Amino acid sequence: MSEMMIFDRTIAVLGKALDLRHRQQTVLASNIANAETPGYKPQRLEFEADLRQALQTPAGAGHRVTGGSGPRTALARVEGRLREAPDRAVRADENGVDLDRELIAQAENQLLYEAAAQMLNKKLGLLKYVSQDGR
C-alpha cells in the first residue's frame, strides 16, 4: 500500500523557491547598497539550474542522497552558489554595480517570489478546502 502524503512535492518545491528567491533578494539588495563602494564587485545567486536538475530527480526510489548530516532529498540540497557578476566596471573607482541592471533584477526576483507565494497559498487553500469536506 502506498503512503498517503498530505504535503506533496509541489509544496516542497514552492517552499524551496521562496527560500532561494529570498536569498537572491538579499544579494541584490547588497549590490544596490554597495553601488558607491569603490572596487565592489556585484554578486549573483545562481540556483535555477540546480533546482531544475533536482526537479528531474524522481520523487520515488533513489531520490534521497547521502552526505553532510545524513540522507537528504535532491531538492533539499539546492542552496545556490554565489558568483561574482561579470566585470562591467566602467567607472574610475572600479565599482561593477550597474544600478539599473540591479533594480531590474530585483523587480524580476520580487515578481517571481510573489508568484511562488501565490501558488503556495492556492495549494494550501485547496488542502484546507479538502480537509473541511468542501465547506
Domain ranges of the chain: 9-129
Q: Are 82 and 42 in contact (CB under 8 A)?
A: no
> Considering the entire predicted model, what is its pTM?
0.80
Residues 6+ apart with CB under 8 A from 4: none
- CA distances for 13 relative to 59, 66, 99, 105, 133, angstroms: 12, 20, 31, 22, 26
CA–CA separation, 40 and 91 (whole Å): 11
Q: Read off the pLDDT of residues 49-103 as tens digits, 9 standing for 90 and up.
A: 999 999 898 765 344 444 444 345 888 999 999 999 876 666 778 888 999 999 9
